[in-house]
Chain A
Amino acid sequence: MGFDFVYLIEVVVGGLLSGVMYSLVAIGFVLIYKSSGIFNFAQGTMLLFASLTFVKMTENGIGFWTALFIASGIMVIVGVATEKFVMRPLANQDLLALFMATVGLATFQEGFAQFMWDSDVHGLQMNKFIDISLLDSNPIFISDYIPWLDLLIPRFDIFASLVAGTLIVVLAFFFQKTNTGMALRAVSDDHMAAMAVGIPLQKVWAIVWAVTGIIALVSGLLWAERVSVSFTLIEAVMKALPVILIGGLTSIPGAIIGGLVIGVGEKLGEIYLADLFGGQGIELWFAYFMALMFLVVRPQGMFGEKLIERV
């Protein structure tokens, strides 16, 4: 039987699209790491909290855009509060301690989010709110456009990619062209030097965490549509870890490419390699193995900064 080329394309495209979702989460991580060296383990729970808050609001009759607005506001507050009450008091401690603080934060948020709202699974269907053809639940049949390419692409994946892409472009613009963006890059390069030229460190960090909160909201909503809002959201999001680690903890383009690599790799592995390992569900660990193999060859990730230890 001939190799099903079209199926391969479908798998790859599917992988790319889900990879974009991973990238989005990864970017949140990278932002914070770049500007403060903190590995924010609480990124996943921020997603949960954001989407849970949003969903609870819409379920109680609040309109989509209003809820989005309020949720954004809440996430900004959460971000700033985190920086002020958790990160700042720990500023003079080593990175391991800061990481553990984010682990503590993650646990707290996980408990708090479900305590405040509830632990049920909530579905999210955006086409109930936004009436555009892209959110229609029918998949797009590529064969409608290219006769020989018999692929099915879920519309939502395209929508998610567009949203993610837009966000990435906005962020890129923000970093490269605006003053605040430049200040952020300065801070991530060298705190001391940034302070020396008068950049207000605390304000910059507050902004970073606020922006991360918003990213958490956007990615949370996109993910929620796919896997519903429940604490298992966190597990799905943990996959973003290999993404950042492949892309390099300090690189946004790395996060994007890493996401695509993992997305595609996972799908390919699941479909073509599963038989080799005699079991289903190798996607559980495949992403991590990919990252592992990659890191062994290049310990700082694709675009990460090489750690030159000065003695």
Chain B
Amino acid sequence: MIYRETGNFVTNYLKDRDIFSMTFDKVVVILGLLYLFLWVPTTSEYFLSAHVIPILAVGLATVGLNILTGLTGQLSLGTAGFMCVGAFGTYNLMLRVPDGLMSLPVALLLSGIAAGFVGVVFGLPAIRIKGFYLLVSTLAAQYFVWWFFNSYAWFLNYESSGVVAIAPKFYDYWGLGNLLGVDMQGYPARYLLALTICIGLSYFAKNLLRSNTGRNFMSVRDRDIAASVMGISVPRAKLLAFFISCFYCGVAGGIYSFLYIGNVDLMIYGVDRSFTILFMLIIGGLGSISGSWLGAIFVYEFPIIFTFIGDFIFQGAFNTAVVENVSNMVYGIFIIALLIREPGGFAALWGTTKQKLRMWPYPH
């Protein structure tokens, strides 16, 4: 199979915008989707629950952060705070709104919108404050949101332990599960919901990137004065970026709590989570949606693989502290190395590989 573009001519402008222009790519994508939707749900519960679903959650958050930081250039350390809004929002909607009116997908969507609005509030200072100074705003969001949900126990339904396990009935969408005889709380069902959302939102993000809005975002990132001189409303672009980005993070938070962990727990949305997602973003490559997914997979899987190597080869020599520390070192080294050699991150590396594939067997 030769990976070539020859004979593949674009006949109109809309075709020029196709995401996958080569037939080979199109086929791979369709096969991939079939694989993801039909085959993966049949894999082991452990695989789904410990690997796939969490990556879907953090990957989506990374895509969200990408829209804000990678595309629009607004530095954010508040990602986990927005995820938190999503998680708590979903929980409270499911808990308090009568069953007939609310179901999990709807709750995820609405809490995402809530997170989006919270993002806009904390994004308002971005109109005046530029550059690194903006870090204050998102850090304020992170700490404030955390403190808010910690102080008002109502949000956790006065659960004294600080952690709420999510009731099984929350997983069913208006009795659909009973109708189809499917266990909606089971991991395959959870996985399919997460997958659908992630693929849908990634597609949306990719389109956004290539559209007028995406270009506006990037112009704000690159040269905001020139952008305003051309008629682009910089404040509007920034706030819209905050809204969309935090929407994504909110939904990701809901997915993380509901579909992965099964608990609503404040501890998992601390500032270190924000950093982890930032690492995923940087390693994956700013400005690239596929990069965000690659980065998420790498950062999430590395400690697991490392532990596995430890157990397998060194007979359990690596305890959790060692794994965590080595992981941090590796992330740090990767970030610095990538910045020096390939600032586009894994996405750029992948792009170069594809380039080489298209040329193969010629070197250039």
In the bound complex, residues from chain B placing their C-beta under 8 Å from that of A111 are 324-332
- Given A241-B135, A245-B135, does the pair A108, B150 have CB atoms closer than 8 Å? no
Between A280, A282, A292, the greatest number of chain B beta carbons within 10 A of the residue's beta carbon is seen for: A292
- Interface residues as binary, B308-347 with A (CB distance below 8 Å gives 1, 0 otherwise): 0000000000000110111111111111100110010000
Are the C-beta atoms of B282 and A103 separated by less than 8 Å? yes
Q: Is A212 an interface residue (CB 8 A)?
A: no
Question: Closest CB of chain B to A145's CB: distance in Å?
Answer: 39
Minimum CB distance partner of B224 in chain A:
A309
- Given A282-B147, A292-B136, does the pair A96, B226 have CB atoms closer than 8 Å? no
Are the C-beta atoms of A104 and B333 separated by less than 8 Å? yes
Are the C-beta atoms of A96 and B73 separated by less than 8 Å? yes
Between A111, A114, A242, A277, the greatest number of chain B beta carbons within 10 A of the residue's beta carbon is seen for: A111
Are the C-beta atoms of B336 and A101 separated by less than 8 Å? yes
Q: Is A164 an interface residue (CB 8 A)?
A: no
Q: Is B106 an interface residue (CB 8 A)?
A: no
A307 to B128, CA, bound (A): 12
In the bound complex, residues from chain A placing their C-beta under 8 Å from that of B322 are 115
- Interface residues as binary, A89-130 with B (CB distance below 8 Å gives 1, 0 otherwise): 110010111011101111111111011001100000000000
Q: Is A296 an interface residue (CB 8 A)?
A: yes
Partner of A105, one of B129, B140, B282, B332: B332
Question: Closest CB of chain B to A129's CB: distance in Å?
Answer: 28
Are the C-beta atoms of A104 and B331 separated by less than 8 Å? yes
Question: Closest CB of chain B to A196's CB: distance in Å?
Answer: 27
Q: Is B107 an interface residue (CB 8 A)?
A: no
Q: Is A284 an interface residue (CB 8 A)?
A: yes
Are the C-beta atoms of B129 and A295 separated by less than 8 Å? yes
Are the C-beta atoms of B151 and A279 separated by less than 8 Å? yes
Between A97, A100, A311, the greatest number of chain B beta carbons within 10 A of the residue's beta carbon is seen for: A100
Chain B 47-82 interface residues, beta-carbon cutoff 8 Å to A: 73, 75
Are the C-beta atoms of A285 and B136 separated by less than 8 Å? no
In the bound complex, residues from chain A placing their C-beta under 8 Å from that of B150 are 279, 281
In the bound complex, residues from chain A placing their C-beta under 8 Å from that of B225 are 309, 311
Are the C-beta atoms of A285 and B147 separated by less than 8 Å? yes
Q: Is B137 an interface residue (CB 8 A)?
A: yes
Q: Is B362 an interface residue (CB 8 A)?
A: no
Are the C-beta atoms of A299 and B129 separated by less than 8 Å? yes
Are the C-beta atoms of B133 and A104 separated by less than 8 Å? no
- Interface residues as binary, A31-48 with B (CB distance below 8 Å gives 1, 0 otherwise): 000000001000000000
Chain B 135-153 interface residues, beta-carbon cutoff 8 Å to A: 135-137, 139-140, 143-144, 146-147, 150-152
- Interface residues as binary, A286-310 with B (CB distance below 8 Å gives 1, 0 otherwise): 0011011001100111000001010
A119 to B95, CA, bound (A): 40
Are the C-beta atoms of A93 and B133 separated by less than 8 Å? no
Q: Is B130 an interface residue (CB 8 A)?
A: yes
In the bound complex, residues from chain B placing their C-beta under 8 Å from that of A119 are 321, 325
Are the C-beta atoms of B140 and A285 separated by less than 8 Å? yes
In the bound complex, residues from chain A placing their C-beta under 8 Å from that of B39 are none
A241 to B334, CA, bound (A): 25
A249 to B147, CA, bound (A): 27
A95 to B75, CA, bound (A): 12
In the bound complex, residues from chain A placing their C-beta under 8 Å from that of B271 are 235, 238
Question: Closest CB of chain A to B307's CB: distance in Å?
Answer: 15
Minimum CB distance partner of A304 in chain B:
B133
Q: Is A268 an interface residue (CB 8 A)?
A: no
In the bound complex, residues from chain B placing their C-beta under 8 Å from that of A147 are none
Are the C-beta atoms of A284 and B146 separated by less than 8 Å? yes
In the bound complex, residues from chain A placing their C-beta under 8 Å from that of B326 are 111, 115
Q: Is A278 an interface residue (CB 8 A)?
A: yes
Minimum CB distance partner of B127 in chain A:
A296
Q: Is A171 an interface residue (CB 8 A)?
A: no
Are the C-beta atoms of B335 and A295 separated by less than 8 Å? no
In the bound complex, residues from chain B placing their C-beta under 8 Å from that of A95 are 131
Question: Closest CB of chain A to B71's CB: distance in Å?
Answer: 13
A-B contact pairs, 30 of them (CB 8 A): A99-B132, A100-B339, A101-B335, A101-B339, A103-B278, A104-B331, A104-B333, A104-B336, A107-B275, A108-B331, A111-B326, A115-B322, A119-B321, A119-B325, A238-B271, A241-B135, A242-B136, A245-B136, A278-B151, A279-B152, A284-B146, A284-B147, A285-B144, A291-B136, A292-B137, A295-B136, A299-B128, A307-B130, A309-B225, A311-B225
Chain B residues with CB under 8 Å of chain A are 73, 75, 125, 128-133, 135-137, 139-140, 143-144, 146-147, 150-152, 225-226, 271, 275, 278-279, 282, 321-322, 324-336, 339-340, 343
Chain A residues with CB under 8 Å of chain B are 39, 86, 89-90, 93, 95-97, 99-101, 103-112, 114-115, 118-119, 235, 238, 241-242, 245, 249, 277-282, 284-285, 288-289, 291-292, 295-296, 299-301, 307, 309, 311
Nearest 5 A/B pairs, CB to CB: A108-B332, A111-B328, A104-B335, A279-B151, A288-B140
